[in-house]
Amino acid sequence: MDNKEKEYLFPEFDDLTFDATDREKVFRRIKNETSKNKVKKLFKSFSALFITSITGIVAVLIFILFSSSTIFNNNEEIHNVAQIGEYENPRTELLIIRREEHEVADLLLLFSYIPSENNLKILSIHRDLYVPIIDDTGQERKKGKALYTTIFESKAAVKSFSKFFGMQIDSYHELTEGRFVQLLNSLGGISQTTTNETLSGEEVLSQLLARYDPARHTFEHREKQHNELLVAIIEDLINKNITQIFPEIDTSKDLKIDAIEMGELVEFSSVKGIVYYMVDEEGIEKVRTELGVK
């Protein structure tokens, strides 16, 4: 815009005056706007800091929650299989210790925790026990040795024993024999209070599997030794605050640990030339009662 256009469009422009009063008004307005801008900037900075702080706190809490000290790998987590809802008496979990690079499991431990009694029950399921073999779809394929309940998938073993014992198993946990040995060795072995001995992981596994050696004592005696060792292992793990492989237990009070003896309930029977350990309905009901199942 040139001067002529300015004079035509804004003839009064040159007549404008700017006195002391106007300068004071402008100064006050600039001061007010500057103050407002400072407040806005301060609020934005504080908001960003607040949000960042909250985000950081949440991130730390999540990190603590998911990276709390544990001796288990991600694929060794607890698998909950029960329906969501309030726990009923008892709380149960199946620990599967399977052979290295095989789908079969020689050690199958069923834990039952009775909160009202602060009592942890252990049932070591004999690998030759005659039970239903259920596949990954939930269908019963046949009856056979407990050893083979894991051949389809570990969760299928839960279904097999749930059906056999007529009870709900809330969760299961799985380890290989090698990982089990590694776990015990990382804890310095297992201390036996009765003998003042400390067993390595390899020794513990060997003695647990001695249950299946017919050349060592009688069946009932082998079962008794097996269960005594199991109780010693569980006591030592709990004393070392390793409780991830058990149901949710209360360690703030004296915990009672009992191993369920099945030796006297078992009968030997042959099916198509294969020897199985059989337990009748009365024996199963006794086991259920020991486990705290109503």
pLDDT of residue 73: 52
Residue 274: strand, helix, or coil: strand
Distances (CA, A) of 276 to 34, 213, 271, 279: 90, 15, 7, 10
Q: Which among 172, 174, 177, 179 has a CA at the least distance from the CA of 247? A: 172
171/179 Cα distance (integer angstroms)? 19
Of 68, 99, 121, which closes a domain?
68
**Residues 183 and 48 both lie in one domain:** no
Task: Say which CATH number the domain at 212 has.
Answer: 3.40.630.190
Cα–Cα distance between 238 and 251 in angstroms, integer? 8
Given 29, 44, 68, which residue is the final one in a domain?
68
Q: What pLDDT shows up at residue 120? A: 94
Considering the domain architecture, whether residues 119 and 64 belong to the same structural domain is answered as no
Whole-angstrom distance, CA of residue 146 vs CA of residue 165: 13
How far apart are alpha carbons 129 and 124 in whole angstroms?
A: 11
Domain residues for the domain of 19 are 1-68
Residue 201 above 90 pLDDT? yes
Task: Quote the pLDDT of residue 16.
Answer: 39
Q: What is the DSSP letter of 216?
A: S
Does 208 have pLDDT greater than 70?
yes
- Residues 100, 196, single domain; the answer is yes
- Residue 110, pLDDT above cutoff 80: yes
- Is the domain of 252 the same as that of 140? yes
* pLDDT confidence of residue 220: 84
Q: Are the C-beta atoms of residues 201 and 184 closer than 8 Å to each other?
A: yes
Q: Is 78 in contact with 93 (CB distance < 8 Å)? A: yes
Domain endpoint, select from 53, 68, 83:
68
Both 78 and 58 in one domain: the answer is no
Say yes or no: 137 and 260 in one domain.
yes
How far, in Å, CA of 165 to CA of 121, rounded? 15
Full-model pTM = 0.70
Q: Do 150 and 247 fall into the same domain?
A: yes
